[in-house]
Copies of this chain bind each other. A is one copy, B any other.
Amino acid sequence: MTDKTPLWQAIADTLRAEITSGHYPPGDRLPSEAALATRFGVNRHTVRHAVAQLADAGLVHARRGAGVFVTARPTDYALGRRVRFSQNLAAAGRTGSHRFTRLETRPCDAVEAQMLDLSPGDPVHVVEGLSLADGQPLALFRSVLPGWLAGFCDHARDHQSITAALAACGVADYTRASTRITAKLANATQAVALRIPQGAPVLRSVAVNLDDGGRPVEYGRTWFAGDRVSLVLAD
């Protein structure tokens, strides 16, 4: 080898190409380090160096005693002024679906009142649910909507869609005023719902949507499974 690039990097590039080309699909196990070492004709440590780079890049993840697995490609989820769940997943080539787990009207607390421009104790509609992509849990969400949207819960139950229910309440269009993103660790409840191990990272997004008159119509919080989604801000 007269080439200046290190052996381990060449091996890493080869593996990366094989993974991205689909030779090793997401969830698949790579050949053992020993097998890769014989294949490339190098020492196992050289393979380890290459695999470590891929793992650091998040492309694969090793499980002691089990092997090295190709990380499932995270679903791209676009954030912007107009965020619509199903459209987003369609763009990412996935079939998305909701499942509402709670639907109720109750008095709001202080935080909800401030975000929705209400007085504490005013009625609000609350929708909780789970977002699925290709049948796999992608995110938990809790949306709070002002009580003056008459009959929202019934519409939501009928249409199984927040956008459709808002339309039925006379809110034809809405845009996102602000989004705030933080990283948290999954608590027990979230871990069970999202089918991720407890302590796995979750992306928490807090957003407020306004109708075309500038009135707040939705205060939504979403918890994404951190390793199944990547939020994309496209300008």
Which residue numbers of A lie inside 8 Å of B, CB to CB?
A: 4-5, 9, 12-13, 16-17, 56-58, 74, 76, 79-81, 107, 109-111, 120-121, 175-185, 187, 199-203, 224, 226-227, 229-235
CA distance A204 to B107 in the complex (A): 37
Contacts of A57 on B, CB cut-off 8 Å? Answer: 111
- Identical chains in the assembly: 2
Contacts of A80 on B, CB cut-off 8 Å? Answer: 235
Contacts of A120 on B, CB cut-off 8 Å? Answer: 13
- In the bound complex, do residue B233 and residue A179 qualify as a contact, i.e. CB atoms below 8 Å apart? yes
Tell me which of A107, A203, A226 has the highest count of chain B C-beta atoms within 10 A of its own C-beta. A226
- In the bound complex, do residue A181 and residue B184 qualify as a contact, i.e. CB atoms below 8 Å apart? no
Q: Known contacts being A80-B235, A187-B56, is A229 close to B182, with CB within 8 Å?
A: yes
Contacts of A56 on B, CB cut-off 8 Å? Answer: 187
- In the bound complex, do residue A235 and residue B184 qualify as a contact, i.e. CB atoms below 8 Å apart? no
